[in-house]
Structure 1
Amino acid sequence: MKLIGTLTSPYVRKVRVVLAEKKLDYRLELDQVWSDEATIGRSNPLGKVPCLVLDGGDAMFDSRVIVEYLDTLSPVQRLIPASGRERAEVKTWEALADGVLDAGVLAWLERNWAGRSDGERSQAWIDRQLGKVRAGLRGIDQGLGDKPFCTGVYLSLADVAVGCALGWLTFRLPELDWRSEHPNLARLYDKLMLRASFIDTQPRLQ
């Protein structure tokens, strides 16, 4: 398998963490999706990463779709329950973590995208998105409480998604200082950062 992505994308990181936890072999192909020379469009018409190219050339995209597929490939470290309420709970955690990221990315792009001049940027839009980030973090922190992991005593995709969101916020929006405001999240992230899958996939500029 080939994974097309960047070293800064939290959605790509989510897939890479799952690949590592599942002990699956793959090749990472880096692509600058904002560059005129980007090649991602050959595999994903939306021009977005992550994109998983399977043997034979078929492509799979959207991190939620990819990680669900990957979890079926090996019985090692099952991250998504097979069915029922437990499955829905894990997927809801993932949706919340991804929603925090979606809002954070929109805020960061509004502030930093080179395609806009300073006069074209909307602080009201940035503030609105950051408000969603803060509300999402409060919800995650309250839901986690004093549990070892998001859904109980075992690592699941919920923790992977939350950890990738927190890592990206630290990388791109450090002024939010989520650690001091949400000690439960800080405790979880510190625990996740002891795992090789998280250590090896920390976001960095290419």
Structure 2
Amino acid sequence: MASNSNLTYRILTSNDESEVVRFVQDHFIPVEPALVAANVRAEEEHAFPSVIIKNSLWQGVSIGVFDGTNGNLCAIRINMLGKNDHCLPYEDNDSMHTEKQLVVHRILEYANEGLEDYLCKKNCMQHVFVIVNQAYARRGIATELYKRSEELARENGCEIMKATCTNCYTRRSVEKAGYVKVKEVPYATYVDGATGRKPFVDIPPPHTSVSVLIKTLHVS
């Protein structure tokens, strides 16, 4: 395995879309607690995560980490800028996602209700994904991605970083990076507004909730 010195960090572009989508399908969908609970399967998803990836890469604030020994993508940090919200293509959720994915989408929307100021502020960067191939875990990659993302946020005039976390490990990493929780939705008590059911009640510990966290940046 390559050493840390053989890892290359660079801004992802639209040319990376297919590789990034495959990376999400391989290293995120099969293990993300909410997606697993909703029985979302990568092979069944045609629009997700393509829509999210397409909408973020053109903004030039997402980062990929590549192994210098083989050129493989080994980690990503996907970000979106609030000031570009009006430029993003409208998503018709009923046609863009499967019903399984919509179950997850609804809890994320519910968790962000009342926080529109953070989501849509022109000076906000939204954290979408941070995913590290487990073969490259415990090498400080996620920490470095947070650091570089903050630098990009400042360069784009952002004063707020926002993250919606669906598992405890991501939440711990963003808290370690200085984010503060502003809202939390426990899986055990959440009721899906469309079905009246509790689709995430059986998610095992240590994953207990969807949480929304923010970090205020000091922009010089």
Using structure 2 for the length normalisation, give the TM-score: 0.31
Higher relative contact order (CA 8 A, sep 6+): 1
Higher helix share: 1
Higher strand share: 2
Using structure 1 for the length normalisation, give the TM-score: 0.32
